[in-house]
Amino acid sequence: MANTLIIVGGQFGDEGKGKIVDFLAEKADMIVRYSGGNNAGHTVVSGGETFKLHIIPSGIIRKNKVNIIGNGTVVNPDVLVDEMENLEKMGLTVNEKNLILSSAAHVISERHIMDDSSSASSKMIGTTGRGIGPCYCDKVVRTGTRIGDFVKGKSGTAVSLRPFVKDTYSIINDAIDAGKHVLFEGAQGTLLDVDHGTYPFVTSSNSIAGGALIGSGVGPTKIREVCGVFKAYSTRVGGGPFPTELGNESMTKEEDSVDMLRKELSAEGFERLLRKTVIKANEGDAYTQGRLLRMQGYEYGTTTSRPRRTGWFDGVAARYAARVNGMTCAAITKLDVLRNLDKIKICVAYLINGKQTGNFLLGAEELSKAVPVYEEMSGWKEDISKARKADDLPAAAKNYLGRLQQVIGVPIGIISVGAGREETIPLGNMLW
pLDDT digits (tens, 9 = 90+) for 283-297: 999 999 999 999 999
Q: What is the pLDDT of residue 430?
A: 57
Among residues 14, 115, 116, 336, the one annotated as catalytic is 14
Strand 234-236 and strand 309-311: the pairing is antiparallel
Q: Is 106 a catalytic residue?
A: no
> CA angle, corner 262, sides to 301 and 273, nearest 5?
100
Average pLDDT over residues 196-203: 94
pLDDT the model gives residue 257 = 79
Say which of 42, 54, 106, 112 is annotated catalytic.
42
Note the pLDDT of residue 302: 61
CA angle, 209 as apex, 50 and 25 as ends, to 5°?
Answer: 35
Which of these ranges, 164-168, 305-309, 413-417, has the smallest mean pLDDT? 305-309
When mean pLDDT is compared across 95-109, 206-220, 249-263, 342-356, the lowest value belongs to 249-263
pLDDT of residue 42: 72
Q: Side chain identity at 207, as an amino acid letter?
A: S
Mean pLDDT value of segment 409-423 = 94
pLDDT band at 197 (very low <50, low <70, confident <90, very high): very high
- pLDDT tens digits for 70-126? 999 999 999 999 999 999 999 999 999 999 999 999 999 999 999 988 766 656 566
User: Distance between CA 424 and CA 432 in Å, rounded?
Assistant: 16
pLDDT at 300: 82
CA-based end-to-end distance of the chain: 6
Q: What is the pLDDT at residue 240?
A: 93
pLDDT category of residue 128 using cuts at 50, 70 and 90? confident
pTM: 0.92
Residue 404 has pLDDT above 60, yes or no: yes
Taking a C-beta distance cutoff of 8 angstroms, is the pair 273, 333 a contact? Answer: no
- Give the DSSP H or E segment for 21: helix 17-24
Look at residue 364 and tell me whether its pLDDT is greater than 70: yes
What average pLDDT does range 191-202 have in this prediction?
Answer: 95
The domain ranges of the chain are 4-231
Asked if the model's pLDDT at residue 39 lies above 80, the reply is no
> What is the pLDDT, as a whole number, of residue 127?
67
Contact 58, 185 (CB under 8 A): yes
- Residue 122's pLDDT is 59
* Rg of the chain (C-alpha set): 21
* CA 141, chain centre distance (Å): 28
Q: How confident is the model at residue 260 (pLDDT cuts 50, 70, 90)?
A: confident
Mean pLDDT value of segment 46-65: 87
User: Rounded to whole angstroms, how far apart are CA atoms 351 and 182?
Assistant: 41
Task: Flag the least confident range among 39-43, 53-57, 415-419.
Answer: 39-43
Does position 17 have pLDDT exceeding 70, yes or no?
A: yes
Please report, rounded to a whole number, the percentage of residues in the chain having pLDDT higher than 70: 95
What's the CATH architecture for 4-231?
3-Layer(aba) Sandwich (3.40)
Question: What ranges in 90-229 are assigned the alpha helix state H?
Answer: 110-118, 120-125, 132-140, 147-150, 156-161, 168-177, 209-214
- The neighbour count for residue 112, using CB atoms within 10 Å, is 24
Q: Quote the pLDDT of residue 304.
A: 64
pLDDT tens for 237-254 read: 888 999 999 998 888 988
Give the separation between CA 422 and CA 389, rounded to whole angstroms: 11
Q: Does the pLDDT at position 40 exceed 70?
A: no
Is residue 429 scored above 60 in pLDDT? no
Mean per-residue pLDDT over the chain, rounded: 92
Please give the Cα distance from 368 to 365 (Å, whole number).
5
The phi, psi pair for 54, rounded to 5°, reads: -125, -35
14 belongs to the catalytic site: yes
Q: What is the pLDDT of residue 129?
A: 83
Band (pLDDT 50/70/90 cuts) for residue 44 is confident
State the pLDDT at residue 383.
Answer: 95
